Amino acid sequence: MSAFRTHSLQPPHGPAARRSKRRARRGFTLVEVLAAGLLVGITLPVIMKGIAMSDSLASLTRHRTEAGALAESKLNDLIAEGTWQTGSLSGDFGTDYPDYQWTGELQSWGTGQGVAGTNNVQQLDIHVLWNTSAGQQRSVTLSTLVYQSTNTSSTTGSSGTSTGGS
């Protein structure tokens, strides 16, 4: 007799073999399926809300950036042309930016100062307005100081603010 055993090619028989076959054919249990469904049901709405919020914030950021650039451009135009002294201080940006309108405001700055109590320095504010998709009005304001003279105007500084919430 040989020291080597030969194995049969037939599968094993008996109760242990039947249990092994049943385990191999089984899929997920009902508890596993319910747990996975619960996990998806909880996380999916949270993920979708996060995506919606990021889309909304991206849109607001884009509008604020565009409005700031438009305000700066309009402020520079008004000062370069000198129309801030005599021209209209409101309007729109034409067909290139139909969602935006602008208004200007001129205020005295440091009244009662200067030679003989006169002050030719004024604050020029440019407000750029737009409406969100939810119907809320937002705005960006850019300000500078201008010197009113009989023949020229000049700026000495500028600042910008944004309003309308986040």
What residue type is 61 in one-letter code? T
What's the pLDDT score for residue 68?
A: 95
What is the side-by-side strand order in the sheet with 90-93?
90-93, 97-108, 121-131, 137-147, 155-163
Output the pTM of the full model.
0.64
Dihedral angle at the C-alpha atoms of 133, 136, 145, 96, nearest 10 degrees?
30
Half-sphere exposure of 149 (CA within 13 A, CB side): 9
pLDDT of residue 64: 94
> Contacts from 51-57 at CB under 8 Å and sequence distance 24+?
57/166
What pLDDT is stored for residue 166 in this prediction?
46
Contacts of 57 (CB under 8 A, 6+ apart): 166
Q: Decide if pLDDT at 161 tops 80.
A: no
Which tens digit of pLDDT belongs to each residue from 10-35? 666 666 666 666 556 668 899 999 99
pLDDT at 100: 95
